[in-house]
């Protein structure tokens, strides 16, 4: 099958070519994102392969159909950037990679937590300047703290287990309770309880109409003062302006994010030497208790290998008219 890749990075080319060992598929890689203008770049492809910041809304899907595209293959787990209703009406299938080394993202969430708490980024820069003082680098023992986890799918479940291993009390909320996690010591509670009791809150849920701005001025007010907030899921879960205000008044003690609500025009690109026009992100990066990484939680060898292999398995199943294990349907 001929497949056109949008938003391609060098590692995409490497790992997808490695996974296409028998040259069953023919790839064309573009660094440009999928949008209304760039559908004109489609030639004789049957499928497009897209990533988190590509746009597949109703207008784009209409143009994809006109170009003969019959399959949208997401090389990620999230699918909030695809209009599933429009895809269904166009007779277009949508598949994704629901689980690609959930350990990669969960471990990155823990990394953000520990780096923030122990001020690793500050101490690193101090030592490089031959400054070996410790003042201002105080952290807290993660052991014994209450950790709230919103979303206990594949990634959230791994994060819960890691936190249990740290000796934390883990509270969780999800549409479905995971019996194995409950047996391991996780307690499922209402979101309001997580907000009120947690010293640390980590988000691991998809972005939907129900979860958009899950963290807002109201829910922040319910949180403990000085709470540490971690988000490695989707930027839209957080009302960033409300979080900025909470950082300014000290209600949020630390923020670690690998995703950002307006990341589409920024992440995966090099803007060094230029002035970022996003005032909210620019403000965030001025806080000494904020750590931002550019959507790199998935970025391990194991995850990249699984993303490529699962994506090509999805495409092969479509080509052979086999059941699509990882198809996404509306509702």
- The residues, any chain, with a CB within 8 Å of residue 293's CB and separated by 6 or more, are 108, 112, 257, 258
Decide if 263 is catalytic.
yes
Residue 199 gets the label, from left (phi > 0), alpha (psi -120 to 50) or beta, of alpha
Dmax (CA) for the chain in angstroms is: 64
Task: Show the tokens assigned to 122.
Answer: 């500050």
Q: 164 with 184: CB under 8 angstroms? A: yes
Task: Show the tokens assigned to 186.
Answer: 């996780």
3-class DSSP assignment, residue 201 = strand
Q: 289 with 253: CB under 8 angstroms? A: yes
15 CB neighbour count, 10 Å cutoff: 20
Task: Show the tokens assigned to 5.
Answer: 């890749």
Please, is 156 exposed, middle or buried when counting C-beta atoms within 10 Å of its C-beta (0-12, 13-18, 19+)?
buried
Angle between helices 10-19 and 301-319 (to 10 degrees): 60
Catalytic residue among 66, 263, 283, 322: 263
Catalytic residue among 45, 75, 234, 261: 234
H or E stretch including 147? strand 146-150
Decide if 234 is catalytic.
yes
CA 57 to chain centre: 19
Which residues on adjacent β-strands are paired with residue 2? Answer: 26
Task: Show the tokens assigned to 245.
Answer: 């205000």
Task: Show the tokens assigned to 207.
Answer: 């972005």
CA dist., res. 276 & res. 268, Å (int): 14
Task: Show the tokens assigned to 287.
Answer: 């806080």
Catalytic residue among 62, 295, 301, 322: 295
| Residues that are catalytic | 234, 263, 295
């Amino acid at each position: 099958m001929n497949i056109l890749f949008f938003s391609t990075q060098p590692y995409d080319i490497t790992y997808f070519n490695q996974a296409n060992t028998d040259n069953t598929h023919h790839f064309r890689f573009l660094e440009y994102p999928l949008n209304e203008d760039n559908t004109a770049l489609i030639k004789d492809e049957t499928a497009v392969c897209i990533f988190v910041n590509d746009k597949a809304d109703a207008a784009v899907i209409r143009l994809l159909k006109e170009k003969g595209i019959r399959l949208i293959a997401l090389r990620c787990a999230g699918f909030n950037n695809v209009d599933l209703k429009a895809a269904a009406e166009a007779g277009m299938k949508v598949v994704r990679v629901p689980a690609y080394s959930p350990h990669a993202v969960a471990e990155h969430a823990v990394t953000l937590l520990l780096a923030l708490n122990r001020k690793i980024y500050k101490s690193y820069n101090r030592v490089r300047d031959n400054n070996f003082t410790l003042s201002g680098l105080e952290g807290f023992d993660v052991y014994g703290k209450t950790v709230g986890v919103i979303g206990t799918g594949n990634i959230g479940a791994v994060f819960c287990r890691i936190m249990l291993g740290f000796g934390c009390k883990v509270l969780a909320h999800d549409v479905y309770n995971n019996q194995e996690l409950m047996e391991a010591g996780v307690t499922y509670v209402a979101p309001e309880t997580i907000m009120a009791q947690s010293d640390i809150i980590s988000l691991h849920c998809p972005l939907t109409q129900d979860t958009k701005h899950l963290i807002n001025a109201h829910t922040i007010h319910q949180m403990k003062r000085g709470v540490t907030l971690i988000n490695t899921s989707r930027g839209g879960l957080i009302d960033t302006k409300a979080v900025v205000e909470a950082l300014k008044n000290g209600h949020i003690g630390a923020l670690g994010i690998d995703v950002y609500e307006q990341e589409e025009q920024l992440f995966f690109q090099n803007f060094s030497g230029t002035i970022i026009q996003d005032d909210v992100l620019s403000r965030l990066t001025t806080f000494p208790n904020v750590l931002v990484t550019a959507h790199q939680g998935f970025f391990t060898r194991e995850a990249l290998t699984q993303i490529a292999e699962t994506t090509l398995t999805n495409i092969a199943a479509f080509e052979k008219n086999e059941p699509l294990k990882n198809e996404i349907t509306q509702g």
